[in-house]
Amino acid sequence: MTYETLPDQMRAALAYQWGSPENISIESSPMPTLEPDRVLVKVMAVGLNAADKHLLLGTPYIVRLQHGLRRRKDQRIGHDFAGIVVQMGEECSRLAVGDAVFGVDTGAVAEYVAPREKNLCLKPAAISWEHAAAIPISGCTAFQALDKAGVAPGMHVLIHGGSGGVGTAAVQLAKARGGTVTATCSAANRDLVASLGADTVLDYRARDPLAVTHPYDAILDVGGNLKNRRAANSLVPGGSMIKIGYSGGNWLGPIVQLGTHYAVNIGTAGTMHMFLASTPLDVLEQLIALVSEGKFIPPVERVYPFEQTQEAYTRLVSGRTVGKSVIRIGSDT
Protein backbone atom coordinates (compact mmCIF):
# COMPACT_ATOMS: atom_id res chain seq x y z
CA MET A 1 0.00 0.00 0.00
CA THR A 2 1.31 3.49 -0.78
CA TYR A 3 0.44 6.94 0.58
CA GLU A 4 0.29 8.75 -2.72
CA THR A 5 1.31 8.17 -6.29
CA LEU A 6 5.06 7.90 -6.13
CA PRO A 7 7.30 9.45 -8.79
CA ASP A 8 9.87 7.45 -10.79
CA GLN A 9 12.57 9.99 -9.96
CA MET A 10 13.20 12.37 -7.06
CA ARG A 11 15.33 15.44 -6.41
CA ALA A 12 18.36 14.83 -4.22
CA ALA A 13 21.31 16.95 -3.07
CA LEU A 14 24.55 15.30 -4.26
CA ALA A 15 28.27 16.06 -3.96
CA TYR A 16 30.75 14.15 -6.13
CA GLN A 17 34.04 15.70 -4.95
CA TRP A 18 35.49 16.18 -1.48
CA GLY A 19 35.54 19.84 -0.57
CA SER A 20 33.39 22.90 -0.20
CA PRO A 21 29.58 23.28 -0.15
CA GLU A 22 29.90 24.66 -3.70
CA ASN A 23 30.25 21.03 -4.80
CA ILE A 24 26.64 20.35 -3.81
CA SER A 25 24.04 20.24 -6.59
CA ILE A 26 20.37 19.31 -6.51
CA GLU A 27 19.72 16.77 -9.24
CA SER A 28 17.15 14.34 -10.51
CA SER A 29 18.01 10.97 -9.00
CA PRO A 30 16.55 7.43 -8.89
CA MET A 31 14.11 6.71 -6.02
CA PRO A 32 15.78 4.80 -3.14
CA THR A 33 15.53 1.00 -3.34
CA LEU A 34 12.90 -0.34 -0.97
CA GLU A 35 14.45 -3.46 0.62
CA PRO A 36 12.13 -5.77 2.61
CA ASP A 37 13.16 -4.39 6.04
CA ARG A 38 12.94 -0.73 4.96
CA VAL A 39 10.18 1.82 4.53
CA LEU A 40 10.01 4.66 2.06
CA VAL A 41 9.80 8.06 3.77
CA LYS A 42 8.86 11.38 2.18
CA VAL A 43 11.38 13.76 3.77
CA MET A 44 9.93 16.90 5.34
CA ALA A 45 12.99 18.30 7.15
CA VAL A 46 16.69 17.50 7.61
CA GLY A 47 18.88 18.48 10.57
CA LEU A 48 22.60 19.04 9.97
CA ASN A 49 25.42 17.77 12.17
CA ALA A 50 29.19 18.12 12.32
CA ALA A 51 29.34 14.59 10.84
CA ASP A 52 27.74 15.96 7.65
CA LYS A 53 30.52 18.55 7.49
CA HIS A 54 33.23 15.89 7.85
CA LEU A 55 31.59 13.78 5.13
CA LEU A 56 31.39 16.75 2.74
CA LEU A 57 34.91 18.10 3.31
CA GLY A 58 36.55 14.68 3.67
CA THR A 59 38.24 15.80 6.89
CA PRO A 60 39.80 14.53 9.07
CA TYR A 61 41.44 12.67 6.20
CA ILE A 62 40.88 9.25 7.76
CA VAL A 63 37.25 9.77 6.61
CA ARG A 64 38.53 9.25 3.03
CA LEU A 65 39.99 5.83 3.83
CA GLN A 66 36.47 4.52 4.26
CA HIS A 67 34.47 6.84 1.98
CA GLY A 68 36.72 7.28 -1.07
CA LEU A 69 40.36 8.35 -1.44
CA ARG A 70 40.03 10.59 -4.51
CA ARG A 71 36.27 11.23 -4.76
CA ARG A 72 33.24 10.63 -2.58
CA LYS A 73 32.16 7.00 -3.18
CA ASP A 74 28.60 7.81 -2.15
CA GLN A 75 27.42 11.15 -3.53
CA ARG A 76 24.43 11.50 -1.17
CA ILE A 77 24.55 13.95 1.76
CA GLY A 78 22.72 14.38 5.08
CA HIS A 79 21.60 11.99 7.82
CA ASP A 80 19.00 13.26 10.34
CA PHE A 81 15.49 13.61 8.96
CA ALA A 82 11.80 13.74 9.82
CA GLY A 83 9.10 12.71 7.36
CA ILE A 84 6.05 10.64 6.44
CA VAL A 85 6.05 6.89 5.75
CA VAL A 86 4.72 6.50 2.20
CA GLN A 87 5.46 2.85 1.42
CA MET A 88 6.27 -0.27 3.46
CA GLY A 89 8.86 -2.96 2.69
CA GLU A 90 7.52 -6.55 2.62
CA GLU A 91 8.84 -7.45 6.10
CA CYS A 92 7.71 -4.21 7.80
CA SER A 93 4.68 -4.16 10.09
CA ARG A 94 5.57 -1.99 13.16
CA LEU A 95 4.84 1.27 11.33
CA ALA A 96 2.06 2.15 8.89
CA VAL A 97 1.76 4.27 5.78
CA GLY A 98 0.99 7.85 6.86
CA ASP A 99 3.01 7.64 10.12
CA ALA A 100 5.10 10.71 10.97
CA VAL A 101 8.60 9.50 11.90
CA PHE A 102 12.14 10.73 12.44
CA GLY A 103 15.53 9.07 12.45
CA VAL A 104 18.81 8.70 10.60
CA ASP A 105 19.64 7.49 7.09
CA THR A 106 22.36 8.25 4.56
CA GLY A 107 21.24 10.68 1.88
CA ALA A 108 18.58 12.50 3.88
CA VAL A 109 18.89 15.73 1.86
CA ALA A 110 16.51 14.35 -0.77
CA GLU A 111 12.79 14.11 -1.37
CA TYR A 112 12.72 10.44 -0.24
CA VAL A 113 14.84 8.10 1.90
CA ALA A 114 14.46 4.39 2.61
CA PRO A 115 15.63 3.78 6.21
CA ARG A 116 15.37 0.51 8.16
CA GLU A 117 11.96 0.38 9.86
CA LYS A 118 13.47 -0.80 13.17
CA ASN A 119 15.46 2.44 13.60
CA LEU A 120 12.57 4.88 13.11
CA CYS A 121 10.81 6.68 15.95
CA LEU A 122 7.23 8.00 15.80
CA LYS A 123 6.90 11.80 15.86
CA PRO A 124 4.05 13.24 17.94
CA ALA A 125 1.89 15.70 15.98
CA ALA A 126 2.67 18.52 18.45
CA ILE A 127 6.38 18.44 17.58
CA SER A 128 7.34 20.21 14.35
CA TRP A 129 9.17 18.51 11.48
CA GLU A 130 12.06 20.92 12.04
CA HIS A 131 12.41 20.12 15.75
CA ALA A 132 12.16 16.37 15.16
CA ALA A 133 14.81 16.52 12.42
CA ALA A 134 17.10 18.43 14.80
CA ILE A 135 17.08 15.65 17.41
CA PRO A 136 18.76 12.38 16.33
CA ILE A 137 22.57 12.59 16.17
CA SER A 138 23.17 15.55 18.47
CA GLY A 139 20.46 14.48 20.94
CA CYS A 140 21.70 10.87 21.11
CA THR A 141 25.32 12.03 21.41
CA ALA A 142 24.52 14.25 24.39
CA PHE A 143 22.24 11.64 25.99
CA GLN A 144 24.76 8.78 25.66
CA ALA A 145 27.70 10.93 26.79
CA LEU A 146 25.81 11.93 29.96
CA ASP A 147 24.96 8.26 30.49
CA LYS A 148 28.60 7.24 30.08
CA ALA A 149 29.63 9.86 32.62
CA GLY A 150 26.88 8.59 34.96
CA VAL A 151 25.40 12.08 35.40
CA ALA A 152 22.85 11.96 38.23
CA PRO A 153 21.05 14.55 40.43
CA GLY A 154 23.38 16.90 42.28
CA MET A 155 26.42 16.27 40.08
CA HIS A 156 28.38 19.25 38.74
CA VAL A 157 28.93 18.91 34.99
CA LEU A 158 31.15 21.00 32.71
CA ILE A 159 29.92 21.15 29.13
CA HIS A 160 32.74 22.66 27.08
CA GLY A 161 31.11 23.97 23.89
CA GLY A 162 27.51 24.46 25.02
CA SER A 163 26.12 26.39 22.05
CA GLY A 164 26.20 24.01 19.05
CA GLY A 165 23.96 21.05 18.26
CA VAL A 166 25.47 18.61 20.77
CA GLY A 167 26.21 21.33 23.35
CA THR A 168 22.68 22.78 23.48
CA ALA A 169 21.29 19.25 23.85
CA ALA A 170 23.84 18.38 26.55
CA VAL A 171 23.04 21.48 28.64
CA GLN A 172 19.30 20.74 28.61
CA LEU A 173 19.64 16.98 29.16
CA ALA A 174 22.12 17.47 32.03
CA LYS A 175 19.63 19.83 33.70
CA ALA A 176 16.82 17.31 33.08
CA ARG A 177 18.95 14.77 35.01
CA GLY A 178 19.21 17.15 37.96
CA GLY A 179 22.79 18.22 37.34
CA THR A 180 24.38 21.59 38.05
CA VAL A 181 25.77 22.80 34.74
CA THR A 182 28.73 25.00 33.90
CA ALA A 183 28.83 25.57 30.14
CA THR A 184 31.31 27.37 27.90
CA CYS A 185 30.63 29.20 24.63
CA SER A 186 31.53 32.41 22.78
CA ALA A 187 30.41 35.62 24.48
CA ALA A 188 27.74 36.19 21.81
CA ASN A 189 25.98 32.93 22.75
CA ARG A 190 25.98 33.42 26.53
CA ASP A 191 22.28 34.41 26.77
CA LEU A 192 21.11 31.47 24.70
CA VAL A 193 23.09 28.94 26.76
CA ALA A 194 21.86 30.51 30.01
CA SER A 195 18.28 30.33 28.70
CA LEU A 196 18.72 26.57 28.21
CA GLY A 197 19.28 26.23 31.95
CA ALA A 198 23.05 26.41 32.43
CA ASP A 199 23.79 27.58 35.99
CA THR A 200 27.10 29.20 34.99
CA VAL A 201 28.15 30.27 31.50
CA LEU A 202 31.80 31.03 30.73
CA ASP A 203 33.24 32.65 27.61
CA TYR A 204 36.00 30.14 26.84
CA ARG A 205 38.14 32.86 25.23
CA ALA A 206 38.12 34.93 28.45
CA ARG A 207 37.87 32.29 31.20
CA ASP A 208 39.64 28.97 31.67
CA PRO A 209 36.89 26.47 32.58
CA LEU A 210 39.47 24.15 34.16
CA ALA A 211 40.75 26.78 36.61
CA VAL A 212 38.36 25.65 39.33
CA THR A 213 38.65 25.33 43.09
CA HIS A 214 35.97 22.61 43.24
CA PRO A 215 36.50 19.75 40.79
CA TYR A 216 33.73 18.64 38.44
CA ASP A 217 31.92 15.31 38.73
CA ALA A 218 31.82 15.03 34.93
CA ILE A 219 33.14 16.89 31.89
CA LEU A 220 31.78 16.67 28.34
CA ASP A 221 34.43 18.01 25.95
CA VAL A 222 32.21 18.86 22.97
CA GLY A 223 34.67 21.42 21.61
CA GLY A 224 37.33 18.70 21.78
CA ASN A 225 40.18 21.08 22.62
CA LEU A 226 40.48 20.74 26.41
CA LYS A 227 43.92 19.59 27.54
CA ASN A 228 43.21 15.98 28.38
CA ARG A 229 45.43 15.49 31.47
CA ARG A 230 44.41 18.85 32.91
CA ALA A 231 40.75 18.00 32.38
CA ALA A 232 41.13 14.55 33.97
CA ASN A 233 42.79 16.30 36.95
CA SER A 234 39.89 18.77 37.21
CA LEU A 235 37.57 15.89 38.13
CA VAL A 236 36.67 14.39 41.49
CA PRO A 237 38.29 10.97 42.06
CA GLY A 238 36.37 8.54 39.85
CA GLY A 239 34.85 11.35 37.75
CA SER A 240 34.63 11.02 33.96
CA MET A 241 35.70 13.25 31.07
CA ILE A 242 33.95 12.30 27.84
CA LYS A 243 35.86 13.36 24.72
CA ILE A 244 33.17 14.11 22.14
CA GLY A 245 34.85 16.48 19.67
CA TYR A 246 38.44 16.19 18.46
CA SER A 247 41.29 18.61 17.92
CA GLY A 248 44.83 18.40 16.65
CA GLY A 249 44.43 18.87 12.89
CA ASN A 250 43.06 16.92 9.98
CA TRP A 251 45.87 14.40 9.64
CA LEU A 252 46.67 12.80 12.97
CA GLY A 253 44.35 14.57 15.44
CA PRO A 254 41.76 11.86 16.13
CA ILE A 255 44.32 9.02 15.81
CA VAL A 256 46.73 10.62 18.27
CA GLN A 257 43.87 11.09 20.74
CA LEU A 258 42.80 7.46 20.38
CA GLY A 259 46.36 6.22 20.74
CA THR A 260 47.30 8.34 23.74
CA HIS A 261 44.20 8.40 25.91
CA TYR A 262 45.25 5.40 28.02
CA ALA A 263 48.49 7.19 28.91
CA VAL A 264 46.53 10.37 29.72
CA ASN A 265 44.74 8.53 32.50
CA ILE A 266 47.81 7.31 34.40
CA GLY A 267 47.78 8.93 37.83
CA THR A 268 44.95 11.40 37.15
CA ALA A 269 42.04 12.05 39.53
CA GLY A 270 39.35 11.17 37.02
CA THR A 271 39.28 9.22 33.76
CA MET A 272 39.14 10.42 30.17
CA HIS A 273 36.97 8.28 27.87
CA MET A 274 36.96 8.29 24.07
CA PHE A 275 33.38 8.15 22.83
CA LEU A 276 31.41 7.23 19.72
CA ALA A 277 27.67 7.86 19.69
CA SER A 278 24.94 5.80 17.99
CA THR A 279 21.23 6.50 17.41
CA PRO A 280 19.26 3.53 18.81
CA LEU A 281 15.45 3.60 18.86
CA ASP A 282 15.20 3.43 22.67
CA VAL A 283 17.28 6.62 23.03
CA LEU A 284 15.26 8.41 20.30
CA GLU A 285 12.09 7.45 22.21
CA GLN A 286 13.45 8.85 25.48
CA LEU A 287 14.50 12.05 23.72
CA ILE A 288 11.12 12.61 22.07
CA ALA A 289 9.46 12.04 25.46
CA LEU A 290 11.69 14.77 26.94
CA VAL A 291 10.78 17.07 24.02
CA SER A 292 7.07 16.40 24.65
CA GLU A 293 7.59 17.29 28.33
CA GLY A 294 9.32 20.56 27.34
CA LYS A 295 12.60 19.47 28.96
CA PHE A 296 14.56 19.36 25.70
CA ILE A 297 13.93 21.73 22.79
CA PRO A 298 16.63 21.75 20.13
CA PRO A 299 17.18 25.44 19.29
CA VAL A 300 16.89 25.84 15.53
CA GLU A 301 19.04 28.75 14.35
CA ARG A 302 17.64 28.85 10.82
CA VAL A 303 15.47 26.80 8.47
CA TYR A 304 16.77 26.76 4.86
CA PRO A 305 14.61 25.83 1.86
CA PHE A 306 15.85 22.76 -0.08
CA GLU A 307 17.14 25.04 -2.87
CA GLN A 308 19.48 26.71 -0.31
CA THR A 309 21.24 23.50 0.74
CA GLN A 310 24.62 25.01 -0.24
CA GLU A 311 23.98 27.96 2.11
CA ALA A 312 22.94 25.60 4.94
CA TYR A 313 26.18 23.63 4.52
CA THR A 314 28.24 26.84 4.33
CA ARG A 315 26.92 27.77 7.76
CA LEU A 316 27.63 24.25 9.04
CA VAL A 317 31.19 24.34 7.71
CA SER A 318 31.77 27.67 9.51
CA GLY A 319 31.69 25.71 12.81
CA ARG A 320 29.69 28.56 14.35
CA THR A 321 26.14 27.19 14.12
CA VAL A 322 24.18 28.23 17.19
CA GLY A 323 22.01 25.20 17.99
CA LYS A 324 20.92 23.50 14.79
CA SER A 325 20.59 24.30 11.08
CA VAL A 326 17.63 22.61 9.39
CA ILE A 327 16.74 22.19 5.69
CA ARG A 328 13.04 22.06 4.83
CA ILE A 329 12.29 19.67 1.96
CA GLY A 330 8.64 18.54 1.63
CA SER A 331 5.60 20.72 2.25
CA ASP A 332 2.53 19.80 4.31
CA THR A 333 0.12 20.72 1.54
Ligand X SMILES: NC(=O)c1ccc[n+]([C@@H]2O[C@H](COP(=O)([O-])OP(=O)(O)OC[C@H]3O[C@@H](n4cnc5c(N)ncnc54)[C@H](OP(=O)(O)O)[C@@H]3O)[C@@H](O)[C@H]2O)c1
Summarize as ranges the residues that interact with ligand X (CB under 6 A): 49-50, 137-138, 141, 160-161, 163-167, 184-186, 189, 204, 222-225, 244-245, 275-277, 319-322
Burial class (CB in 10 A: 0-12, 13-18, 19+), 195: exposed
Q: Which is nearer to ligand X, 107 or 245 (CB)?
A: 245
Q: Find the helix or strand (DSSP H, E) in which 242 lies.
A: strand 235-243
Helices first, then strands: H and E counts in the chain: 10, 15
Residue of this chain nearest to ligand X (CB atom): 164
Please state whether beta strands 100-104 and 271-274 pair in parallel, antiparallel, or not at all (unpaired): unpaired
The distance of closest approach from Cβ of residue 186 to ligand X in the complex, given in angstroms and rounded to an integer, is 3
Q: Which is nearer to ligand X, 47 or 107 (CB)?
A: 47
Q: Which is nearer to ligand X, 55 or 110 (CB)?
A: 55
- Helix 50-57 and helix 309-318: axis angle, to 10°? 100
Q: Which is nearer to ligand X, 10 or 132 (CB)?
A: 132
CA distance 327 to 182: 31
Q: Which is nearer to ligand X, 21 or 164 (CB)?
A: 164
The distance of closest approach from Cβ of residue 164 to ligand X in the complex, given in angstroms and rounded to an integer, is 2
Q: Which is nearer to ligand X, 49 or 87 (CB)?
A: 49
**Quick check: 122 and 39 in contact, CB under 8 A?**
no
The distance of closest approach from Cβ of residue 228 to ligand X in the complex, given in angstroms and rounded to an integer, is 14
Q: Find the helix or strand (DSSP H, E) in which 302 lies.
A: strand 300-305
Question: In sequence order, which residues have a C-beta less than 8 Å from that of residue 138 and are 6 or more positions away?
Answer: 47, 49, 164, 165, 166, 168, 169, 298, 324
- Using alpha carbons, select from 42, 10, 41 the residue that is nearest to residue 26: 10
The distance of closest approach from Cβ of residue 333 to ligand X in the complex, given in angstroms and rounded to an integer, is 31
β strands within 64-209, DSSP E: 80-88, 100-104, 112-113, 121-122, 156-160, 180-185, 200-203
The distance of closest approach from Cβ of residue 192 to ligand X in the complex, given in angstroms and rounded to an integer, is 9
Q: Which is nearer to ligand X, 11 or 54 (CB)?
A: 54
Q: Which is nearer to ligand X, 11 or 229 (CB)?
A: 229
The distance of closest approach from Cβ of residue 78 to ligand X in the complex, given in angstroms and rounded to an integer, is 13
Question: In sequence order, which residues have a C-beta less than 8 Å from that of residue 331 and are 6 or more positions away?
Answer: none
Helix (H/G/I), strand (E/B), else coil: 24: strand
The distance of closest approach from Cβ of residue 125 to ligand X in the complex, given in angstroms and rounded to an integer, is 27
Q: Which is nearer to ligand X, 179 or 223 (CB)?
A: 223
Amino acid in position 27: E
CA distance 240 to 216: 9
The distance of closest approach from Cβ of residue 130 to ligand X in the complex, given in angstroms and rounded to an integer, is 15
The distance of closest approach from Cβ of residue 242 to ligand X in the complex, given in angstroms and rounded to an integer, is 8
- Using alpha carbons, select from 65, 29, 190, 43 the residue that is nearest to residue 113: 43
